Amino acid sequence: MSDQVLRTVLGGVLLLHGLGHGGAIGALAWIAHFGPGHTGDWHAAHSWLLPDLAPSTATALATGAWALALIGFVAAAIAFWGIGLPVGAWRALALGSAIVSAAGITLFIGNWPAFNTLAALAVNTGVIAALWLRWPPQALVGA
C-alpha cells in the first residue's frame, strides 16, 4: 500500500469515527423529540455507573461527550492531513478524543447497539495503541 493511500485511509478512519459520534447525538435528539419507540437498539441515555442521573442530565452528559469526540476526531483528521491545523496537533487531538469517547461509551454502555459500541471501542483502542507505539511515522503525516 502506498504512503498516499495509507495516509488517506488513516485520516479517513479518524474523520469517519468522529462523524459517527454525530450519529449518536442524532439518536439522542430523536429519542428526546419522538420518544423511545421505533429506535431499534438505540435507547435514551442512562448510566449504569450513575443510575440516579435525571434523564435530561444523562442526555446532556452523553451529548457533550459525543460532541467533544466528534469535534476532536474531525480536527485530528484535518491536522493529520495537514489542512489548516498544525500537523503535530493530530496526536493530542486523537488521543484526547479516543479517551473521551471510550469514557462515554463505558459510562453509557448498553444504551446503543452492540455493533456500534464494539466498533467504536475498537477504533478508540486502535488509536490509543497506535499512538502508544508511536505509529504512524511522522513521514506519513501531513500533505
- What total of structural domains would you count in the chain? 1
Residue type, 90: W
CA proximity to 108, closest of 15, 20, 24, 13:
24
pLDDT digits (tens, 9 = 90+) for 83-101: 999 999 999 999 999 999 9
Asked if residue 21 lies in contact with residue 101, where contact means CB atoms within 8 angstroms, the answer is yes
Q: What is the pLDDT of residue 32?
A: 87
For residue 21, give its domain range. 3-140
The pLDDT tens digits for 26-84 are: 999 999 888 777 677 788 999 999 999 999 999 999 999 999 999 999 999 999 999 99
Residue 41 three-state SS: coil
Are the C-beta atoms of residues 18 and 70 closer than 8 Å to each other? yes
- pTM comes to 0.92
**pLDDT at residue 3 tops 60:** yes
Between the CA of residue 137 and those of 15, 78, 80, 141, what are the distances in Å? 19, 17, 12, 7
